[in-house]
């Protein structure tokens, strides 16, 4: 059987999953009607089937292997049937977007079938005028944020253009074939280099492990509503922010676009608590902010490549400007220390562990997430070009991140079409009012936009 071993971090995500805590990423893409000759539902379904079938990665499934002990590998599913992965759902035309959002939350509850290639897509139709939505679910073992974008982009008209596919195929044929590498056992110099790499990896793992221990909390702070007992239910809340407004805040106060968005999330959580009649905590909640370890412009290569920063969101600070200043200071400190410090570096340790350790330890690590952080806040990049499907322009795309055990909120953000689209995945019973958090994030950005730079000196 022609197979490829799962990379260590991918294996960790695969072993970490349970029925109540599925480990898939998601995205809800909303498309506007085509200018003329809109495609029918059957046309769209056939288009999705053709384009997803053309992606070899989506034809692979995971199977256990005897060696290495506890390992697993990717192999092409010889019985691959795209109709088992594509589904069509028709909703009433009234308030279609709200219906699609509610449906997406419910569909995110369902784990992907582990005996099949781990992905699904849902074509959601029924909107007036021919608008529609597509929900994408990809297991985290299959893709991190960057690879999920690459896979998802393969369904769009511009990326999936068959002429481009043929051109890339011709380029591969023209590329010189590299001779196979000799076994390292026959090359003493390479053996020494391999040993040196293993020692360096061990030093890295020890250093990261020490940082991880220091970051752990025996008495987690944060918000009890974000760590309620898991119900297995999911709801999706969404917010669309004006990207130009975000940039104006950044220009007035300084920092990065991501700093402004993190401050908006902190302010949204504070407003949500106040509306519930609760007192925001002085410290926390603690957010894990993932960081890609892929080098810009480098090939994606196999496996997830992630680390992350820790950030105590300043929900106890009543002033929006000072909240943003606190986020800036903390993120600057994180960047100075680098992404190999704190709970986010758990992914780096995962890259150093043998498969059997993931078999035994991944479920335990998933359960320990509450000791490390309270929620996830991640940014997902999208191509900066205008995207469409079957001639229908992409209007908005709301990313969705999985929930770790003991947590009830994951926030994902992406920029497209002059907006920042915010997807908030929550445990439906622990946080039944996720729409209030979404509204709070929008209100917080509006408040930040009134800052004239006067808070710059507060740092």
pLDDT higher than threshold 80 for residue 343: no
- Look at residue 297 in the predicted model and tell me its pLDDT: 52
Q: Residue 360: enclosing H or E segment and its boundaries?
A: helix 355-367
Give the residue with greater pLDDT, 222 vs 101: 101
Measure the CA angle with vertex 234, ends 228 and 240; round to 5°.
110
Mean pLDDT of the chain: 80
What is the Cα–Cα distance from 305 to 277, expressed in whole angstroms?
Answer: 41
pLDDT higher than threshold 70 for residue 193: no
- Look at residue 206 in the predicted model and tell me its pLDDT: 39
User: Residues 416, 420, 421, 427: is their CA dihedral positive or negative?
Assistant: positive
pLDDT higher than threshold 90 for residue 240: yes
What is the Cα–Cα distance from 82 to 79, expressed in whole angstroms?
Answer: 10
Phi, psi of 34 (to 5 degrees): -70, 155
pLDDT higher than threshold 50 for residue 247: yes
pLDDT higher than threshold 80 for residue 44: yes
Q: What is the DSSP string of 87-110?
A: EEEE--STTHHHHHHHHHHHHTTS
Give the residue with greater pLDDT, 371 vs 120: 120
3-class state of residue 379 by DSSP: strand
Percent of the chain with pLDDT over 70: 72
pLDDT higher than threshold 80 for residue 292: no
Mean pLDDT of 115-119: 96
| Ranges 84-93, 145-154, 403-412, most confident | 84-93
Percent of the chain with pLDDT over 90: 52
- Look at residue 123 in the predicted model and tell me its pLDDT: 98
Secondary structure letter of residue 18 according to DSSP:
B
pTM of this prediction? 0.81
| Ranges 218-222, 223-227, 280-284, 351-355, most confident | 280-284
- Look at residue 43 in the predicted model and tell me its pLDDT: 96
pLDDT higher than threshold 70 for residue 165: no
Mean pLDDT of 111-124: 96
Closest of 102, 407, 411, 438 to residue 272, by C-alpha:
438
Phi, psi of 267 (to 5 degrees): -65, -35
């Amino acid at each position: 059987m022609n197979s490829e071993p799962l990379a260590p971090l991918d294996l960790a995500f695969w072993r970490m999953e349970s029925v109540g805590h599925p480990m898939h990423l998601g995205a809800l893409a909303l498309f506007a009607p085509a200018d003329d000759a809109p495609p029918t539902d059957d046309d769209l379904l056939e288009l999705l089937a053709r384009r997803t079938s053309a992606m070899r990665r989506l034809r692979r499934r995971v199977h256990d292997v005897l060696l290495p002990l506890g390992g697993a590998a990717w192999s092409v599913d010889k019985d691959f049937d795209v109709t088992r992965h594509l589904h069509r759902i028709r909703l009433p035309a009234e308030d279609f977007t709200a219906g699609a959002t509610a449906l997406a939350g419910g569909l995110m509850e369902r784990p992907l079938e582990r005996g099949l290639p781990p992905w699904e897509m849902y074509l959601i139709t029924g909107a007036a005028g021919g608008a529609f939505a597509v929900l994408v679910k990809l297991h985290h073992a299959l893709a991190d944020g960057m690879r999920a974008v690459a896979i998802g982009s393969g369904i769009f008209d511009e990326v999936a253009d068959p002429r481009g596919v043929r051109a890339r195929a011709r380029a591969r044929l023209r590329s010189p074939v590299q001779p196979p590498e000799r076994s390292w056992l026959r090359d003493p110099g390479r053996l020494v280099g391999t040993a040196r790499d293993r020692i360096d990896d061990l030093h890295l793992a020890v250093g990261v492990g020490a940082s991880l221990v220091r970051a752990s909390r025996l008495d987690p702070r944060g918000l009890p509503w974000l760590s309620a007992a898991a119900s297995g239910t999911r709801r999706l809340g969404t917010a669309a922010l004006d990207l130009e407004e975000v940039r104006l805040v950044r220009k007035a106060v300084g920092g990065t676009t991501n700093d402004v968005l993190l401050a908006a999330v902190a302010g949204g959580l504070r407003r949500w608590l106040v509306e519930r009649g609760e007192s925001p905590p002085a410290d926390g909640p603690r957010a894990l902010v993932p960081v890609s370890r892929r080098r810009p412009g480098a090939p994606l290569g196999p496996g997830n490549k992630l680390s992350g920063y820790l950030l105590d969101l300043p929900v106890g600070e009543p002033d929006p400007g000072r909240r943003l200043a606190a986020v800036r200071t903390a993120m600057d400190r994180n960047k100075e220390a680098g992404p190999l410090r704190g709970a986010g570096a758990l992914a780096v340790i995962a890259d150093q562990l043998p498969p059997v350790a993931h078999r035994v330890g991944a479920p335990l690590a998933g359960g320990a997430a509450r000791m490390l952080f309270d929620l996830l806040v991640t940014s997902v990049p999208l191509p900066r070009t205008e995207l469409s499907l079957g001639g229908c322009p992409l209007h908005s795309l709301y990313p969705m991140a999985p929930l770790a055990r003991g947590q009830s909120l994951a926030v994902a953000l992406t920029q497209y079409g002059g907006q920042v689209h915010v997807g908030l995945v929550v445990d439906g019973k622990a946080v039944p009012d996720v729409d209030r958090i979404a509204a709070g994030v929008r209100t917080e950005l509006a408040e930040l936009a009134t800052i004239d730079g006067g808070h710059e000196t507060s740092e």
